[in-house]
Structure 1
Amino acid sequence: MAELQKVDDWLSALLANLEPAARSRMMRQLAQELRRTQQQNIRMQRNPDGSSYEPRRVTARSKKGRIKRQMFTKLRTTKYLKTAARADSASVQFEGKVKRIARVHHYGLRDRVSRKGIYTIYAKRQLLGFNAQSIELIERMFIKNLT
């Protein structure tokens, strides 16, 4: 959290030099680029720190040797992973009913498997987050727009 505060302080100082229209345009571009990196992480089945997601649990009903589907294939689409940008901020967030599903998996919370099913504790799989690559992307975007 401390590193995020450093980035926020640095960015707010740079944002003061731009006009409001240029700031909002840059923030929109930044949000779209951050969404692409988050989608890439979800597609590669890895946390923002580079470690891979914890695999699904093996159940007694599952068949051996079957092809396993990737997790969160629909969550990473632009239908659910939305961007929001204003002159002073940019965000990437999940929208609608999938926000609950994403929150349960992101924090490793307890939830029902199906509507009337049993509760289970899901493994922690960080869907959104900053890493060195995304901070570098933010820096490049700011430098490009300030020059």
Structure 2
Amino acid sequence: MKNVEELASYLQPFIHQLSTGERAKLSKQIGRDLRKSQSRRISEQKNPDGSGYIPRRKRLREQKGKIKRKMFTKLRTNAHLKLLSTADSIAIGFVGRVARIADIHQRGLKDRAAAGAPSVVYPKRELLGFSDQEIKLIEDSLLKHINL
């Protein structure tokens, strides 16, 4: 199954068989697993399709040495990567100032790195999205929950 809509329509009859409490428990568990998977993928510097992030460009003062830390190290923590789940939905994303920064990278928009700095078009780096493994994870979690 290549996209989330196909997965949702396939799993819908199974989900409706569960009580509201069971659906809430299932969505919370799936949300946790997805957030962990998204965080791991961000840590590996990979887009949902498996391609690597475009490396950050070197700034003038960094020309001499190599940048030693990965991009988005703080963004991928649970403090910034929020999870909201109900019996009917799961939402994983960023809020506040962090959401603005993530959106700029997610869509490859133009922004300033600091006040007074020149505007830069950031390369598209998909922080959030569904990989094939994550779609399989959702399907497996539901089937495992139903078989219990």
* Shorter-normalised TM range: over 0.9
Secondary structure in structure 2 of the residue aligned to 1:111 = strand
d(CA) in 1 for partners of 2:45, 2:3: 24
Give SS of 2:129's match: coil
1:96 match: 96
Q: Which moved more, 1:60-69 or 1:76-85?
A: 60-69
Q: How far did residue 122 of structure 1 move?
A: 0.2
Runs of 4+ in structure 1 deviating by more than 6 angstroms, as ranges, are none
What TM-score do you get using the length of structure 1 for normalisation? 0.93
**Counterparts of 1:31 and 1:18 in 2: how far apart (Å)?**
17
Provide the residue aligned with 1:5 in structure 2: 5
Structure 1 contact 80–96 (Cα < 8 Å) conserved: no
Q: Let me know the Cα RMSD of the aligned residues.
A: 1.4
Q: For residue 117 of structure 1, report the CA deviation from its aligned partner.
A: 2.2
Structure 2 residue runs without a partner (length 5+): none
Contact 2:4 2:135 in 1 (8 A): no
Task: Please say if 1:115 is aligned against 2:126.
Answer: no
- Which amino acid is the alignment partner of residue 36 of structure 2? R
Percent identical: 41
**Inter-CA distance 67–119: structure 2 relative to 1 (3 Å threshold):** closer
Match of 2:44 in 1: 44
| In 2: Cα distance, 1:13 partner to 1:93 partner | 27
Count of aligned residue pairs for this structure pair: 146
Q: Deviation of residue 107 (structure 1)?
A: 0.6
Q: Distance in 2 between matches of 1:137 and 1:131?
A: 10
1:61 is paired with a residue of what secondary structure? helix
What is the rounded CA distance, in whole Å, between the counterparts of 1:33 and 1:103 in structure 2?
22
